[in-house]
Chains A and B, each alone.
Chain A
Amino acid sequence: MEFDIPLPEELELLEANSYYPEEEDDYLNFEEAPYPYDEEKEEEERVAQKELHVQQPDSPEINGIKRPRSLMSDPIVNLDEVSPASEKRSKIGDNRVEMEDEDWLRPSPVKEVVHAVEEEEEVIPPETIFSRYASEIDGECFPITAPDGGERVYAKFCRALGDEEVKKLDVKAKSNGLIKDPISVLLQQSEKEAFNKALQTSSEDQNETITAETPVMHEKLWVDKYSPSSFTELLSDEQTNREVLLWLKQWDASVFGSEIRSTTDEVLSALKRHSTTSHRQKSDSAFTRKNQFSRWSKGSSTYPKNSDVSNSNPTDNHDMWNKKSKLTGSPEQKILLLCGAPGLGKTTLAHVAAKHCGYRVVEINASDERSAAAIETKILDVVQMNSVTADSRPKCLVIDEIDGALGDGKGAVDVILKMVLAERKHATGKENINNGKTSSKKERRTAPLSRPVICICNDLYAPALRPLRQIAKVHIFVQPTVSRVVNRLKYICNMEGMKTRSVGLSALAEYTECDIRSCLNTLQFLNKKNETLNVIDIGSQVVGRKDMSKSLFDIWKEIFNKRKMKRERSNDASGSEAKKFDFLHTLVSSRGDYDLIFDGIHENILRLHYHDPMMDKTVSCLDCLGASDLLHRYIMRTQQMPLYVYFSSLVIPIHRRVAQIQRPTIEWPKSYHRCRTLMVEKQESLRSWYHKIPPYIGRHLSIKSFVEDSASPLLHILSPPTLRPVASHLLSERQKDQLAGLVMLMCSYSVTYKNAKPNPALSDLREDAASEATVLALDPHLFDFISFKGRQLKHHILTLAMKQVLVHEVEMQKILQASGGRSGILNNPEEVKKTNQELARKTIAASNECHRNPVTSKSPSVPVEKNATTSEAKSSDVKKASRTALNFFDRFRKSRKDYEDPEDVQKRATAKRDSRPLLFKFNEGFTNAVKRPVRMREFLL
């Protein structure tokens, strides 16, 4: 009964809401009852009244209003007393109750009861505003139909209580399903959201004036406000920081000249020597160097002069650099490539390190123009120009998001590559020819790289970056530890006066995968809204993240690989499951190449080693793939691109079924492409063969049905086992007929044997011919259409000698047919009189018969026998058909031939010959063969 109590409540509510106009109608003209439906309702209510009277004494302790309704919904009670019409009605009601039960009441029925009771109580006391007309109540109202007499009243809806209720539910609802919240809570939340939205829009009119008055505040982003300004504040991995700095230091020699070489060496050695433990010491020394530098650049006059020299006379500079390269070893790789996930501080590191080493940073971002020409001028600016402003430090180029735009970014990559290569060529040329002037001319054209260039990318393996990767010094950023991020976040929060707990911060950091930028943005956003960080589900709060898509291989890996979750399992398994769920979904949907993703899954899924004794995992995964296929096809056909959204959710069940902890070996999907090309090839061969068949046979064949149905029977017919490879005059009459029939069949289907290269796939099919260097194979490879991998064909295979005989006979037959000769091998005069119509019918019947035979009968010998006979009949039919078809044209040819007299022809031929008494015979080759030596004596004697 626990479940039954709330149900009528729901039913009641629903009735009150949905049948409101009808009931109103009903209420007004009670006697007329315009619809039978209403009558039922009336009856039901009347019954309910009766029930009320009957039941009340039995259950006095239960609330009087509630009890009868529960009975009303109970079909057993109702069936006894209610008419059949109302029975139907009650069933409808039941169904509805079930529906409601599903999505509303299942998880926490007790809670619901309490809620309902509370509401009920709230309504019943007469103190609350309570009227028969909705217009009398201000604010939200709630219709209630009284059980006795069907009277309808409106009660004011007290919202405060209800909201609290919902909130309580929200906190309590934490199940371990796939989704973070159970469906009921989600529904409630969505209801609440809609409600709040409606509330907001209604209240917006009042608030509008207020919001307009509030001044627009410009607050600096925390990300910028607290970005590290010095090297020591950097949050990224120290090793990486150090190496970037080291690389920049190596430029010093060529950029700043030899004056500061001593300090450079010092710093270099210090950098090399010091390990991470002596970080502070090192940074101190770096600071002194920096101070020294700034002092020096301001005060002393040597540096500007030097920079002037280096800019106006690059050869000088390069001479110096070359010298230096021998001494100190300037950077071998001219370009630094930083890569890593967004928000790890790559750009910050580049800026800070460059600043630290005394460079002015020139950044080219994704938002700038990045065509090849534009970037070249920019780089030339950086390399050659000296700014007129007070800030006369040398520049360092930072190209951010170089992988971002493929077409344009590639232009940038090309320019940089060109410059680096020019530099190299120049350097080698310099060593060979020690001539400053010529090389300087050359250099002006190619503009080599003489300032550090730092490229930043998210995906190291973007195809555009492939050439750059080979020549650049690559640093891959790793995630900083959570504690480090949390410490920094805490510090910032303290500075901003925002109250946070470290648990929440660490959860945030984990959620964003240590993306400090999004952490900070989120925190600032929340601070602005005066909200606190919700520890339990961070995803619900706004966390801005940079769009990022992983490579396909990463996605496949994520799908097939289960992560080890030791920590998370101890916390709560459900949360991590839900997180995984979300993670995969966003991963796949941000990538977008759904068909390729699914191809990859299809290619790799069967190679995984998952435990699946009953094959149900496999089956369900393949079901998912099938669903994706269907969906894809539907989308392609109807062009309803929004449906692509659902692809990403299909990945999740696959992941849950087959994901393994051990690392899968993933291959790029090739099988689809291979199959496609193979299919096109075979279709092409089949189609060309189809066009070769004479139309009176071809019209009874469709390519599809031929492959599916008649290819195999036809092959049986084409290779009858009864034929013996002996000389034709040794054959018996019957065998001769058979042979002739086969030849005619092959002719009319334009099938013949041809020399083919020995195919490994075919050689095991034809055992006897396999040893030969060349194999006689059917000209359209009919065996290919019916051969499946690992399936032995049952067809009899003719011997090589027989094939040769057949080839010969077929050729002869073809020639005979072409010349229109009447003397075929077969001559069945009794069949000649049959009409073409009959013949076509018979051909079809024969093919049907021979098609049916191998399928129905089980022993292999019987169908072959039958096939042989049918083939005979068929071939003779076919032969006759060909003859009749030829006769039509023969008539014309004959009549023309008769016109000529053979003697006349002969005469004409001789006359033709006589008209040309001399013939010229061309000698191939040399021209001077006619020359020969002549002695003087021969002239005289």
Chain B
Amino acid sequence: MEIRVKCGCGEDECSEWTIVELQGVVETQSSFQGSVQNLEIGRLCHSDSSQENYTFTVGYHELVGSKVTLKKPLLVLKKIQKCTDDSSVKETELEVVGIIRSKILFKTRPKPLISGTN
């Protein structure tokens, strides 16, 4: 069986992606009935350029994490199914969307934020 992996872009232009790894679950408030559409997940800030420090604010939690280079880079693939003439046989192609060389890892316990407004 043959799987074709196609890369549309050149070597330099291949867009780089990043994994945000959280230890936990991001949940919606009960009033939104589980739909994540058009909702702001949080804010990811790169605080200091010299130290690979990232803060990620979700709800009233603030997470502090760091950038970690992956040992094995990952590809982000997009599965494309082409319908040939014969309907029974589907041709599957994987298109490279991006490459992942590093991830931002938030492994510490989140800090609760106390809002100063009231």
A914 at the interface (CB under 8 A from B): yes
| 8 A Cβ contacts from B5-64 to A | 21-29, 31-32, 36, 39-42, 58-61, 63
- Which one, A916, A919, A927, contacts B23 given CB within 8 A? A927
B84 at the interface (CB under 8 A from A): no
Q: Are B79 and A917 in contact (CB under 8 A)?
A: no
Minimum C-beta distance from B106 to chain A (A): 9
| 8 A Cβ contacts from A431-482 to B | none
Known: A920-B26, A922-B24. A939 touches B31 (CB 8 A): no
Chain B residues within an 8 Å CB radius of A914: 29, 31
Known: A917-B29, A922-B24, A927-B107. A908 touches B58 (CB 8 A): no
A921 at the interface (CB under 8 A from B): yes
Q: Complex: how many Å from CA A383 to CA B64? A: 69
Interface size of A in residues (CB-CB distance below 8 Å): 17
A211 at the interface (CB under 8 A from B): no
Known: A913-B31, A917-B29. A939 touches B42 (CB 8 A): no
Q: Are B110 and A919 in contact (CB under 8 A)?
A: no
Minimum C-beta distance from B6 to chain A (A): 14
Q: Complex: how many Å from CA A778 to CA B75? A: 70
Q: Are A917 and B25 in contact (CB under 8 A)?
A: no
- Which one, B21, B27, B63, contacts A918 given CB within 8 A? B27
Q: Are A940 and B59 in contact (CB under 8 A)?
A: no
Chain A residues within an 8 Å CB radius of B40: 917-918
Known: A916-B60, A918-B59, A919-B29. A939 touches B3 (CB 8 A): yes
| 8 A Cβ contacts from B57-95 to A | 58-61, 63, 77, 79, 92, 94
Q: Is the interface of A mostly helix, strand, loop or mixed?
A: mixed
Chain B residues within an 8 Å CB radius of A837: none
- Which one, A916, A922, A930, A940, contacts B109 given CB within 8 A? A922
Chain A residues within an 8 Å CB radius of B58: 918-920
Minimum C-beta distance from B34 to chain A (A): 11
Q: Are B79 and A921 in contact (CB under 8 A)?
A: no
Chain A residues within an 8 Å CB radius of B39: 917-918
Known: A916-B29, A940-B3. A921 touches B24 (CB 8 A): yes
Q: Are A920 and B3 in contact (CB under 8 A)?
A: no
Chain A residues within an 8 Å CB radius of B109: 922
A640 at the interface (CB under 8 A from B): no
Chain B residues within an 8 Å CB radius of A919: 26-29, 58-61
Chain B residues within an 8 Å CB radius of A940: 1, 3, 79, 92
Q: Are B41 and A918 in contact (CB under 8 A)?
A: yes
Q: Complex: how many Å from CA A365 to CA B27? A: 86
Q: Are A941 and B41 in contact (CB under 8 A)?
A: no
Chain B residues within an 8 Å CB radius of A939: 3, 77, 79, 92, 94
Q: Complex: how many Å from CA A844 to CA B94? A: 93
Q: Complex: how many Å from CA A912 to CA B26? A: 18
Q: Which residue of chain B has the shortest Cβ distance to A936 in the bound complex?
A: B3
Chain A residues within an 8 Å CB radius of B29: 913-914, 916-919
Q: Which residue of chain A has the shortest Cβ distance to B109 in the bound complex?
A: A922
Minimum C-beta distance from A797 to chain B (A): 48
Q: Complex: how many Å from CA A920 to CA B20? A: 14
Chain A residues within an 8 Å CB radius of B107: 927
Chain B residues within an 8 Å CB radius of A941: 92
Chain A residues within an 8 Å CB radius of B36: 918
| 8 A Cβ contacts from A904-941 to B | 908, 912-914, 916-923, 927, 930, 939-941
Minimum C-beta distance from B27 to chain A (A): 5
Q: Complex: how many Å from CA A743 to CA B16? A: 71
Q: Complex: how many Å from CA A919 to CA B79? A: 31
Minimum C-beta distance from B65 to chain A (A): 12
- Report B82-118 CB contacts with A as 1/0, cut-off 8 Å: 0000000000101000000000000101100001001
Interface size of B in residues (CB-CB distance below 8 Å): 32
Chain A residues within an 8 Å CB radius of B42: 918, 920
Q: Complex: how many Å from CA A913 to CA B60? A: 10
Q: Complex: how many Å from CA A941 to CA B81? A: 9
Q: Complex: how many Å from CA A941 to CA B31? A: 36
Chain B residues within an 8 Å CB radius of A927: 21, 23, 107
Q: Are B25 and A921 in contact (CB under 8 A)?
A: yes
Q: Are B23 and A922 in contact (CB under 8 A)?
A: yes
Chain B residues within an 8 Å CB radius of A916: 29, 59-60
Q: Which residue of chain A has the shortest Cβ distance to B56 in the bound complex?
A: A920
Chain B residues within an 8 Å CB radius of A908: 118
Minimum C-beta distance from A702 to chain B (A): 45
Q: Which residue of chain B has the shortest Cβ distance to A923 in the bound complex?
A: B24
Minimum C-beta distance from A844 to chain B (A): 47
Known: A908-B118, A927-B107. A920 touches B61 (CB 8 A): yes
Q: Complex: how many Å from CA A916 to CA B31? A: 11
Q: Are B94 and A920 in contact (CB under 8 A)?
A: no
Q: Which residue of chain B has the shortest Cβ distance to A921 in the bound complex?
A: B25
- Which one, B27, B77, B94, B115, contacts A921 given CB within 8 A? B27
Chain A residues within an 8 Å CB radius of B41: 918
Minimum C-beta distance from B11 to chain A (A): 24
Q: Max chain B CB contacts within 10 Å: which of A918, A920, A923, A930?
A: A920
Minimum C-beta distance from A924 to chain B (A): 8
Known: A923-B23, A927-B107. A918 touches B28 (CB 8 A): yes
Q: Which residue of chain A has the shortest Cβ distance to B110 in the bound complex?
A: A922
Chain B residues within an 8 Å CB radius of A930: 21
Q: Complex: how many Å from CA A908 to CA B118? A: 10
Minimum C-beta distance from A920 to chain B (A): 4
Q: Max chain B CB contacts within 10 Å: which of A912, A913, A917, A921?
A: A917
Chain A residues within an 8 Å CB radius of B3: 939-940
Q: Complex: how many Å from CA A920 to CA B32? A: 15
Q: Complex: how many Å from CA A921 to CA B32? A: 17
Chain A residues within an 8 Å CB radius of B60: 916, 919
Q: Complex: how many Å from CA A908 to CA B117? A: 11
Minimum C-beta distance from A241 to chain B (A): 80
Q: Max chain A CB contacts within 10 Å: which of B23, B107, B109?
A: B23
- Which one, A912, A917, A923, contacts B28 given CB within 8 A? A917
Q: Complex: how many Å from CA A914 to CA B28? A: 10
Q: Complex: how many Å from CA A918 to CA B34? A: 10
- Report A306-326 CB contacts with B as 1/0, cut-off 8 Å: 000000000000000000000
Chain A residues within an 8 Å CB radius of B1: 940
Q: Complex: how many Å from CA A476 to CA B99? A: 92
Chain B residues within an 8 Å CB radius of A921: 24-27
Q: Which residue of chain A has the shortest Cβ distance to B92 in the bound complex?
A: A940
Q: Complex: how many Å from CA A919 to CA B26? A: 6
Chain B residues within an 8 Å CB radius of A922: 23-24, 61, 109-110
Q: Complex: how many Å from CA A686 to CA B110? A: 44
- Which one, A912, A917, A923, contacts B32 given CB within 8 A? A917
Minimum C-beta distance from B18 to chain A (A): 16
Minimum C-beta distance from B19 to chain A (A): 10
Q: Which residue of chain B has the shortest Cβ distance to A905 in the bound complex?
A: B118
Chain A residues within an 8 Å CB radius of B94: 939
Q: Which residue of chain B has the shortest Cβ distance to A920 in the bound complex?
A: B58
Q: Complex: how many Å from CA A695 to CA B46? A: 55
Q: Complex: how many Å from CA A379 to CA B79? A: 92
Minimum C-beta distance from A928 to chain B (A): 10
Q: Complex: how many Å from CA A209 to CA B118? A: 106
Chain A residues within an 8 Å CB radius of B59: 916, 918-920
Which residues of B does A touch, CB under 8 Å? 1, 3, 21-29, 31-32, 36, 39-42, 58-61, 63, 77, 79, 92, 94, 107, 109-110, 115, 118
Q: Which are the 9 A-B pairs with shortest beta-carbon distances? A: A920-B58, A919-B59, A922-B24, A917-B39, A916-B59, A920-B61, A921-B25, A923-B24, A940-B92
Other than the given A927-B107, A939-B94, 13 more pairs (CB < 8 A) read A917-B28, A917-B39, A918-B27, A918-B40, A918-B41, A918-B58, A919-B58, A919-B59, A920-B27, A920-B110, A922-B23, A922-B109, A923-B23
18 A-B pairs (CB sep. < 8 Å): A913-B29, A914-B29, A918-B26, A918-B27, A919-B28, A919-B58, A919-B61, A920-B25, A920-B61, A920-B63, A921-B27, A922-B109, A923-B24, A927-B23, A939-B3, A939-B79, A940-B3, A941-B92
